[in-house]
Amino acid sequence: MVRNTSAAASAPGTFARHHFASLALLILGIGLFAFIGIADEMLEGDTLRYDRWVLLALRAPGDPGDPLGPAWVEEMFRDFTALGGIGVLSLLTLISVGYLWLQGLRRIALFLLLAILGGLLLSLALKTGFDRPRPELVSHGSMIYTSSFPSGHAMLAAVVYLTGGALLAVVHTDHRVRVYLICCAVLATFLVGASRVYLGVHWPSDVLAGWAAGAAWAAACWLAAHWLQQRGRIEGVTQPGPGA
């Protein structure tokens, strides 16, 4: 009975380890499928009606220049959108890489850096390829510099937070810590994307496509890291120390 109880208690962690590759492949497939579908609908103009409805629903009736809610809500969403800016994401990347490096996980640290740089290059390439104009239906609540599709903030937030959160999670053996890190990564990714629509700097389809592409890239990086760990090319999960 004691043995069965112990096995049951460790079931969530065992299940996650055994089915990690399948879960990552599922996320990769869904992300790619969703991005291709949204991109196809966007190019045909089929998303415009939905995009316009959502943007106008988030503005004060009769005044497209005024987002819903008091001024402090708008300021809060500007703070959220900053979490997906290049400056903040670069700082978080360097902090994460430094943390992994100090933990002695130097190959994982380098892998994380390369994964995020690759995601940045992919985002820029997609933006250049689609070259969708920014929405002019409402006034912008944030500065803009690049084209609209996919949302760079949403995509890079997914790349940095989901990839970084997953690779930071491998440092810990506690299942609760791992779940907490991944949940924080998902929450940050969601808030960044939602803020871009609220501030009127992106169509909703831009953000959905950014989330899909970013999640797919993160899943591909998870699979690559898992494959490298299985072959001893990068460090594996830290084992608990005495008394852990």
Catalytic positions? 153, 202
DSSP helix/strand/coil, 32:
helix
Cα-Cα end-to-end distance for the chain: 24
Q: Which one-letter amino acid corresponds to residue 163?
A: T
Q: What is the CA radius of gyration of the chain?
A: 20
Q: How far, in Å, CA of 158 to CA of 98, rounded?
A: 20
Tokens of 44: 């045909």
> By C-alpha distance, which of 198, 80, 190 is closest to 139?
198
Q: Which helix (H) or strand (E) holds 63?
A: strand 63-67
